């Protein structure tokens, strides 16, 4: 039977979780959060490779924390599906695959296109202002990022996310927006992968500009069709360059 700690982490019968402290104090929680953020960054940015084994002793040295803190942080990453835990085998970085990317993209299309449609139809003047403001911030970095994705991706990623969140921010469904937030995190590793291999004919900034223009014009059909193409184009990049199997 699973139990839940005071900080919301679900605990199971896996021996890998056996020495996780049930109620870390405030400073302990801060250390767990800091370790979680460092692990997450190393996974998403590829320093801990997809599918690789996460040996506790190695990670203790790398992050200079205790085994208990590491297991708490890893359990949070398991909940985010960036890490997998297996009985008797410990922790591994969740693998990446073309099938997984297709599944994520299809789910994102289904949810985000509907959320966008509702936003376009229901958004007020404040929603329009959020879209305009988010696009302006994105414009300041995006074209430079397309020329140098290796060094500028970390600056581009949060403002790209802000723009997509602004577009759907008038969707009345809190759960839809919450699920999309989870999907966006899952897709980040794939965005990093494709950002270095863009097709010559593709201009991501122009795609975002078309999304902004159609949203502000209240053209829900065009806007959702553009979003579908925007999301699915990354799969074409993966296929063209043979990045995943």
DSSP for 90-144 reads EEEEPP--HHHHHHHHHHHHHHHHHHHHHHHHH--HHHHHHHHHHHHHHHHHHHH
49 lies in the same domain as 105:
no
pLDDT digits (tens, 9 = 90+) for 86-126: 887 899 999 999 999 999 999 999 999 999 999 999 999 99
Q: Say whether both 184 and 102 belong to one domain.
A: yes
Same domain membership, residue 22 and residue 75: yes
**55 & 143 share domain:** no
- Band the pLDDT of 12: cuts 50, 70, 90: very low
Domain housing 51:
3-93
Task: Provide CB contacts within 8 A for 13, sequence distance 6+.
Answer: 1, 2
With a cut of 50, say whether residue 53 has pLDDT above it. yes
Q: Checking DSSP bridges between strand 90-93 and strand 53-54, what pairing results, if any?
A: antiparallel
Q: What is the mean pLDDT of residues 174-202?
A: 89
Residue with tokens 């679900």: 10
Number of domains making up the chain? 2
If you average pLDDT over residues 141-159, what whole number do you get? 92
User: For position 110, which CATH number holds?
Assistant: 1.20.120.530
Q: How many Å apart are CA 113 and CA 130, to the nearest integer? A: 18
Residues 105 and 224 in one domain: yes
Task: With a cut of 90, say whether residue 226 has pLDDT above it.
Answer: yes
Q: Are residues 148 and 171 in the same domain?
A: yes
Given a cut of 70, whether residue 25 has pLDDT beyond it is no
pLDDT in tens, 69-96: 999 999 999 999 999 998 878 999 999 9
Whether 78 and 117 share a structural domain: no
Confidence of residue 9 (pLDDT cuts 50, 70, 90): very low
């Amino acid at each position: 039977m699973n139990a839940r700690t005071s900080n919301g982490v679900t605990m199971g019968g896996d021996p890998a979780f056996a020495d996780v402290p049930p109620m870390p104090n405030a400073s302990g929680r801060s250390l767990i959060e800091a370790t979680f953020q460092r692990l997450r960054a190393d996974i998403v940015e590829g320093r801990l490779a997809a599918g690789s084994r996460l040996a506790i002793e190695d990670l203790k040295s790398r992050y200079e924390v205790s085994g208990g803190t590491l297991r708490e942080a890893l359990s949070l990453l398991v909940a985010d599906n960036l890490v997998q835990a297996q009985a008797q085998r410990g922790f591994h970085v969740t693998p990446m695959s073309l099938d997984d990317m297709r599944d994520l993209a299809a789910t994102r299309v289904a949810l985000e296109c509907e959320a966008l449609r509702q936003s376009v139809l229901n958004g007020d003047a404040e929603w329009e202002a959020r879209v305009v403001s988010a696009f302006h911030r994105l414009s300041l970095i995006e074209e430079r990022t397309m020329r140098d994705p290796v060094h500028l991706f970390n600056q581009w990623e949060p403002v790209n996310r802000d723009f997509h969140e602004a577009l759907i921010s008038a969707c009345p469904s809190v759960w839809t927006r919450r699920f999309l937030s989870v999907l966006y995190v899952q897709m980040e590793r794939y965005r990093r992968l494709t950002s270095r291999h863009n097709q010559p004919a593709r201009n991501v900034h122009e795609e975002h500009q078309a999304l902004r223009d159609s949203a502000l014009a209240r053209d829900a059909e065009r806007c959702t069709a553009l979003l579908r193409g925007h999301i699915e184009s990354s799969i074409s990049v993966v296929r063209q360059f043979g990045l995943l199997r």
